[in-house]
Structure 1
Amino acid sequence: MKTEKNLENQKRVRWRTFLKDVFICSLGSYGGPEAHYGVFTDQMVIKKNYLTEEELVELIALTGILPGPSSTQTIVAIGYKMGGPLLALLTMLVWALPVLILMTLLSFLSEFLGNMNISQDGLRYIGPMAVGFIAVAAYHIGRKVVTDKITTLLLLLGIIITYSIREPWIYPLVLILGGVVSIIVSKEKNLWNHVKINPPWRYLIVFGIFAIGGILLNFIWNNRIVYLFESFYRYGYLVIGGGQVVVPLMYSELVEVNKFMTNQEFLTGYGLVQGMPGPMFSFSAYAGGMAARGGGVVTQILGAMAGGIGIFLPGLLLIYFIYPIWENLKKIKGIKVALKGVTAVAGGLITVAAIVLMQKNGFMIDNIIVVFITIILLLTKKIPAPLIVILVLIAGFIL
């Protein structure tokens, strides 16, 4: 009895420690999924060894093919690996809830914020800092995934194609292409051995019930909150490629078609989320709250909740369905061979993210200095990610 109690206490401590590390990742994650992967590599792989570089790249490749918020799905999958469905849910909450609450509050202040001429200068070094995180992640991941001539060529292929074609559909396509090439050139025999996988179909059924039920309920009941939930849920399962991809879809429907908010109000919220840590999909709470204005405080909060829950729920359910069979799927020799190519291409995608983000920020001398200082601090492993973020913010406001 005493032993069971001790084990339970140890488990609670481990979960608490893990969730603290998730919160650290959330505080240090700026700039979209590719930059988030740099923080995950630093905190979850190098500092805490919750998983290996190979496992992280496999998850990045898997979530790159799935619809939904890719970096959120990646960290939720790590939570599932560490403690099953409950810890995965807690991981999701710790990762996303703080910024969702903040973006909900900002939906009440949108008019005030829109009228204020708030300087963005203090955030100008966040981009170069994110480049440093991505560069270090690309270095660590590249060392693991490039093992021979084929993986080297696939990494270069990933870099060239995704740099040349800046469209969201190219990412899953090039990942699948990497796997196909790896299988074609493989000399392995009997690639498709039988493995028992037992998929948890209940999660896929729930996924379908929400998708179809939302459409039907919206059709028969003219309710703003129901409409918002169905819309954001639809965004969550139709979009591959992260927050930058879903924003144009939101803009078209919420601003141009339904006129729930003005162009300026939408852009104010989008500008604010750029300076927030955590997932960019948190913009949905702001957009949902703005779209539900006019019905009172409670209605606006419900609108923000409909946006936040709606957009994250499909990706969460898909991870709950896929991850439990993922480890067994990898036991199939053909899948294992394909993963060598997929992860090599994924390494190329992360490298391109650093190049593109640096181009967007500009190659000014101060930006280059911030990138190199970030890389040095990460490689020495002496300063945690949130402290680096604080130092960069201070430097931005002082300089």
Structure 2
Amino acid sequence: MQIYPSPQPVVPVRRIRYFIFLKDIFVLAVTTFGGVQVHLAMMLDRLVTKRRYLTEAELLELYALCQVLPGPTSTQTITAIGFKIGGPNLAYLSLLVWVMPSVLIMTAAAIGVYYLERHHLSLHFARFIQPMAVGLLIVAGYRIGRKVVTNRLTLLLTAVAALAAYIFRSPYMTPIVIACGGVITGLTYQKQEKMAKTPLRIQWANFFLWLGVLIVAALLGHFTRLLPVRLFENFYRNGSLVFGGGQVLTPILYNEFVAFKHYLTREEFLTGFGLVQAIPGPVFAFASYIGALSMRGDGFHGQLLGSLVSTAGIFLPGTFLIFFVYRFWGQLKQYRPVRASLEGINAASTGLTAAAAVALFEPMAPHWPSVAVVLATILLLEFTRTPAYWLILGGLALGVVF
């Protein structure tokens, strides 16, 4: 009697490929320092050149699409690549793998800061980080401005947005300023090149999901007054409005959580902002730090809950929107007003960054050591190739030594 070996389970090749893809995303999550431009370069190297998940042209097109959507550009690009390769399930897994390392680090940083404060231990080791963070924000605003302020209209929009945000320090100014900027330049669409048009075929499910979560969160936050619900709504709203990445998000969060609601002190905010520059992954993980400190009064578990709802709130809108727009982006960009509005949105975002930089620098102005650190940070970033994370790590080291 001949005995045949029992058949071995066959693991689908596609599943193995998805696992390798997620492993590559994790490698990027723990090694990509330096912001969205560096993230793109490393995505090109690992996902295109080494693995060939997609072509360079496909990656650059996805990146361009994510740049014109609100939300974290790098995170949306990673999510869109996962969607392209394996659909919604792989996209959500890609999102989790990409954000988890930086979220855990920033949550731990918030818990550590609160521990030091509760035990009356000094945060003086971070004294160089705070003015360095202001220097980073000034340089980021300047670099963004050089790209988006290209004519008198965008210069005027930037100045008006900065003045409005500086005078009226309310989170409600953010959507107003951004919307006005987009509408004003959208009216100048005649300057845009005409493109051949095809009828739009829109699948609305993810749009209604995005809008539904926004409305339900706002209503629940208003009627329940529960802090976790309000934190989720705050970050979800901000994540739905931020164009231009993490550097533009920073002034919006400062206005809402420091200047307006006083959930954090200015020193705590700047310490967190400096630290998030020194870790790999998305700058939007700063939300995890803010959420954890906002719920410090509820103990350790409250801090974890604050981090969780804030992280979900800041990253979900961009994910829903990329799922929605990705399917018809090729048709949408044919319309000139859509392309023209991006100019005003970017100019208004630059103005918001400038207003936040001024507001953060004002208390430091009378103290020459802080001013010196701000100026040194600006000069090192502009005239050397020193990465921002090395500056932050060096500032931490100096703070500990001295």
TM-score interval (norm. to shorter): 0.5 to 0.7
**Secondary structure of the equivalent of 1:31?**
coil
Of 202, 206, 227 in structure 2, the residue corresponding to residue 203 of structure 1 is 206
Give deviations 1:231-274, integer Å, cap 9, x for gaps: 01111001111111111111111112221121111111111101
State the Cα distance separating 1:27 from its structure 2 match.
2.1
**Secondary structure of the equivalent of 1:238?**
coil
1:183 — aligned with what?
193
Give deviations 1:141-165, integer Å, cap 9, x for gaps: xxxxxxxxxxxxxxxx968839x96
The question of whether the paired residues in 1 share the 8 Å contact of 2:126 and 2:271 is answered with no
Residues 1:27 and 2:30 aligned together = yes
The alpha-carbon distance between structure 1 residues 360 and 55, as it changes in their structure 2 partners (threshold 3 A), is farther
**Secondary structure of the equivalent of 1:109?**
helix
The question of whether the paired residues in 2 share the 8 Å contact of 1:71 and 1:279 is answered with yes
Of 196, 199, 218 in structure 2, the residue corresponding to residue 215 of structure 1 is 218
The question of whether the paired residues in 1 share the 8 Å contact of 2:30 and 2:101 is answered with no
Write the distance in 1 (CA, Å) between the matches of 2:236 and 2:98: 19
The question of whether the paired residues in 2 share the 8 Å contact of 1:273 and 1:280 is answered with yes
Residues 1:247 and 2:250 aligned together = yes
Of 142, 150, 155 in structure 2, the residue corresponding to residue 161 of structure 1 is 150
Of 32, 47, 50 in structure 2, the residue corresponding to residue 47 of structure 1 is 50
Write the distance in 2 (CA, Å) between the matches of 1:310 and 1:326: 24
Residues 1:106 and 2:116 aligned together = no
State the Cα distance separating 1:298 from its structure 2 match.
1.5
Give deviations 1:45-90, integer Å, cap 9, x for gaps: 2222222222222112211111111111011101111110011001
1:154 — aligned with what?
none
Structure 2 spans left out of the alignment, 5+ residues:
1-5, 133-145, 162-177, 343-376, 398-402
1:192 — aligned with what?
197
2:271 — aligned with what?
268
The question of whether the paired residues in 1 share the 8 Å contact of 2:291 and 2:307 is answered with yes
1:89 — aligned with what?
92
The alpha-carbon distance between structure 1 residues 258 and 192, as it changes in their structure 2 partners (threshold 3 A), is closer
State the Cα distance separating 1:229 from its structure 2 match.
0.7
1:346 — aligned with what?
none
Of 294, 300, 309 in structure 1, the residue corresponding to residue 312 of structure 2 is 309
- The alignment of Structure 1 onto Structure 2 pairs a total of residues equal to 316
Give deviations 1:201-253, integer Å, cap 9, x for gaps: 22211111111111111111111111111101111001111111111111111
**Secondary structure of the equivalent of 1:161?**
coil
Write the distance in 1 (CA, Å) between the matches of 2:85 and 2:181: 28
**Secondary structure of the equivalent of 2:297?**
coil
State the Cα distance separating 1:192 from its structure 2 match.
2.1
Give deviations 1:129-185, integer Å, cap 9, x for gaps: xxxxxxxxxxxxxxxxxxxxxxxxxxxx968839x9696969989x999x986733x
Give deviations 1:260-305, integer Å, cap 9, x for gaps: 1211111111111010100000000000010111112222211111
Of 254, 257, 267 in structure 1, the residue corresponding to residue 260 of structure 2 is 257
The question of whether the paired residues in 2 share the 8 Å contact of 1:69 and 1:315 is answered with yes
TM-score, scaled to structure 1: 0.66
The alpha-carbon distance between structure 1 residues 176 and 91, as it changes in their structure 2 partners (threshold 3 A), is farther
**Secondary structure of the equivalent of 1:192?**
coil
**Secondary structure of the equivalent of 2:205?**
helix
The alpha-carbon distance between structure 1 residues 18 and 119, as it changes in their structure 2 partners (threshold 3 A), is farther
Q: How does 1:64-75 map to 2 (within 5 A)?
A: 64-75=67-78
1:298 — aligned with what?
301
**Secondary structure of the equivalent of 1:241?**
coil
State the Cα distance separating 1:118 from its structure 2 match.
5.5
2:400 — aligned with what?
none
Write the distance in 2 (CA, Å) between the matches of 1:43 and 1:238: 30
Write the distance in 2 (CA, Å) between the matches of 1:15 and 1:225: 34
**Secondary structure of the equivalent of 1:45?**
helix
Q: How does 1:116-195 map to 2 (within 5 A)?
A: 116-117=124-125, 161=150, 183-184=193-194, 191-194=196-199
Write the distance in 2 (CA, Å) between the matches of 1:90 and 1:306: 18
Which residue identity lines up with residue 296 of structure 1 in the other structure?
Answer: G
Write the distance in 1 (CA, Å) between the matches of 2:271 and 2:257: 14
State the Cα distance separating 1:116 from its structure 2 match.
4.7
1:324 — aligned with what?
327
TM-score, scaled to structure 2: 0.66
Which residue identity lines up with residue 53 of structure 2 in the other structure?
Answer: Y
Structure 1 spans left out of the alignment, 5+ residues:
125-156, 343-357, 372-388
2:123 — aligned with what?
115
Write the distance in 1 (CA, Å) between the matches of 2:318 and 2:7: 38
2:13 — aligned with what?
10
Which residue identity lines up with residue 256 of structure 1 in the other structure?
Answer: A
Write the distance in 1 (CA, Å) between the matches of 2:73 and 2:382: 28
